[in-house]
Amino acid sequence: MTQLKEVPESATDKLVIYQIYTRLFGNTNTTNKTNGSLSENGCGKFNDINSKALEALKQFGISHVWFTGIIEHATMTDYTAYGIAKDNPLVVKGIAGSPYAIKDYYDVDPDLAEDVENRMQEFENLIERTHKNGLKVIIDFVPNHVARNYLSDTKPAGVADFGFDDDKTLHFAADNNFYYIPGQPLSIPSDVHPPVEVTEPYYEYPAKATGNDVFWANPGINDWFETVKLNYGVDYLNHRATHFSPIPSTWLKMREILFFWAAKGIDGFRCDMAEMVPKEFWGWVIPEVRQRFPEVIFIAEIYNPGAYGSYIFEGKFDYLYDKVGLYDSLRRLIEGHGNANDITRVWQQESGHFSNRMLRFLENHDEHRIASRFFAGNASRAFPAMLVSATLHTGPVMLYFGQEVGVNPQGQEGFSGDDGRTTIFDYWGVPEFQNWVNNHKYDGGWLSAEQKKIRQFYANLLKFVNESDAVKYGHFYDLQYVNSGGLSHNYNDNKIFSYLRFTDKQKILFICNFDLENSYSTSVNIPQGALEMMQIDTNSHCTFTGLFGNDQVLQNVMPYRIDVEIEKNSFLIYEMTQ
């Protein structure tokens, strides 16, 4: 079996991203009424993310903060007093609304401002504050769809709204911003029952195609019925024929939106559902942005491993989500029914040739919280998997706010129901995270003993990641093939995964036991080829020094084999020296 070895493109520091759901991060309100209003349940503000919070994140080991839900989106909260058009609740998900139903690409969410009329300045102050604390800023770019009632009241002079010049008599036209269903009105799903009074029907004629590629007039309740699909020059009902020359109107408008936000000091864009937008657009717009803002990074939310290469090499993305690959494999192991050999298959089949471009995570706003009954039911069960996520390759690792204190959503918060996720649609307080916020002291003053243990693991992990030359810059070598199938004593390759990370300065062996019930007394073989790559003399003894809570020092050991005792649901890390 041939071992593939990742060669980093350059010795850049490893990104450690912390996703903040901005509406919830600083909210200290504990009411948590299902479908509660802004005044009842409260809302976190830009100003809540103060220097204490940002300094704490920096000390925790974070390099980039992804502020989620920044751009103005449709909501059931009435801001007409501030010149913001009211949204019809029939096309809004949740009292607060989905942050991915953008209503004005040139404005920020008024919920997040203490002074609504000064909302953009408050966000610009947050950008400045974040930079002063040594952190970089990422925000969402949502290119595939907009809110049904998109209307920018803050757009720059000379900018036309999406759909302003569309020919609505045609299903498709290359310069239309939307797709239409001529002659038919939109039919709102019959099971949409907003928790607020509906004073008038929602009327859309002709109907526009729905955001998740629904090209008919009656989307369902599980569709993205609150959004409209944007047209990038692909005629989906005509064999996906493409019309990219001349450059479509939507491309040009989106380029200006990216320019607008990058000029405010945004360091990166997490691009929502990037694979629903043609890679040709990305391959054009990303270089356009980088001509003006060369340091800006682009991260693609993408779920099709078969498209990974094209979105990196043709689409010009810096990093891609690794949900379908590593996340899914690790989740199965955390839940007790996975196979550790799947990790090998991930880097071989899906991302083996560009693993340094994959963004690894175990939580984000779309996924179940680890501690919830829908996932592991216990935050500590994910510790070995989180180690793998953070150290498998040089690519970025991401945490979702509250992951580090074991957030466990319980009960129905609002639109999304009781689903093991922290709501993105409603006003809410997050009790476990509020224990760390501690009335905006951001010192963990109210954390329980168990929460402190969880947070300490993550603090130790990020410290290890940031200080390890091998993890930040090193090569990767998978050891499964020389240890599976009985090649190593008592090595259960279904539950144990081992690998090497190394540079000229540091050589590290990782051994992870995902078995939730059994400990192992096992051996781990290291092949001659790997030792030669690490420039370790195969005929001389080696010292294995434990790292990350492992205080063992194994001396006078031949480098090609190590015998260890590894506890259930745990890991061992050794630095190899001669």
Q: What is the mean pLDDT of residues 309-322?
A: 96
Give the pLDDT of residue 349. 82
Asked whether the CA dihedral 128, 133, 134, 135 is positive or negative, the reply is: negative
Res. 503: pLDDT tops 70: yes
pTM: 0.97
DSSP string, 240-271: TEE--SSPPHHHHHHHHHHHHHHTTT--EEEE
| Residue 392 to residues 5, 319, 351, 376, Cα–Cα distance (Å) | 12, 15, 12, 21
241: closest CA among 249, 232, 229, 250?
232
Q: Determine the average pLDDT of the residues in 473-491.
A: 93
Element (H, E) at 429: none
According to the model, what pLDDT value does residue 540 have? 95
Q: What is the CA radius of gyration of the chain?
A: 25
Q: Which domains does the chain have, with CATH numbers?
A: 16-148+245-467 (3.20.20.80), 472-577 (2.60.40.1180)
Helix axes 51-60, 119-132, angle to 10 degrees: 40
Amino acid at 458: Y
C-alpha distances (whole Å) from 153 to each of 159, 310, 425 are: 11, 37, 23
Supply the mean pLDDT for the chain: 96
pLDDT at 2: 39
At residue 569, the pLDDT reads: 98
Confidence of residue 442 (pLDDT cuts 50, 70, 90): very high
Residues 6+ apart with CB under 8 A from 259: 289, 292
SS3 (DSSP) at 55: helix
pLDDT-based confidence at residue 479 (cuts at 50, 70, 90):
very high
Say yes or no to pLDDT of 10 above 60.
no
Question: Taking the CB of residue 533, how many other CB atoms lie within 10 A of it?
Answer: 16
Instruction: Please tell me the least confidently modeled range out of 187-196, 222-231, 341-350, 472-481.
Output: 341-350
Tell me the residue type at 401: F
Residue 313 sits at φ, ψ, to 5 deg, of -85, -35
* Average pLDDT, integer, range 476-504: 95
What element of type H or E holds 463?
helix 449-467
Residue 6, pLDDT score: 45
Contact 573, 546 (CB under 8 A): yes
Q: In this structure, is the dihedral angle defined by the CA atoms of residues 418, 419, 422 and 426, taken in order, positive or negative?
A: negative
Give the model confidence (pLDDT) of 52-72 as tens digits: 999 999 999 999 999 999 999
Is the pLDDT confidence value at 228 over 70?
A: yes
Q: How confident is the model at residue 9 (pLDDT cuts 50, 70, 90)?
A: very low
557 burial class (0-12, 13-18, 19+ CB within 10 angstroms)? middle
* Cα torsion through 2, 6, 9, 12, rounded to 10: -170
**β strands within 409-489, DSSP E:** 475-478
Please, what's the b/e burial string for 454-470 (b: 16 or more CB within 10 A of its CB; e: otherwise)?
A: bbebbeebbebbeebbb
CA dihedral 391, 343, 401, 21 (to 10 degrees): 120
pLDDT tens digits, residue range 356-370?
999 999 999 999 999
Position 350 scores a pLDDT of 76
Q: What is residue 7's predicted lDDT score, i.e. its pLDDT?
A: 40
High-pLDDT (> 70) share of the chain, %: 98
HSE, side-chain direction, 13 A CA sphere, residue 200 = 6
Contact call for residues 260 and 252 (beta carbons, < 8 A): no
66 in Cβ contact with 270 (< 8 Å): yes
492: number of Cβ within 10 Å: 16
Q: Cα–Cα distance between 226 and 315 in angstroms, integer?
A: 28
Query: Is pLDDT larger for residue 259 or for residue 355?
Result: 259
Task: Write down the number of H helices and E strands in the chain.
Answer: 14, 24
Residues with Cβ within 8 Å of residue 374, at least 6 apart in sequence? 368, 419, 420
pLDDT band for position 8 (cuts 50, 70, 90): very low
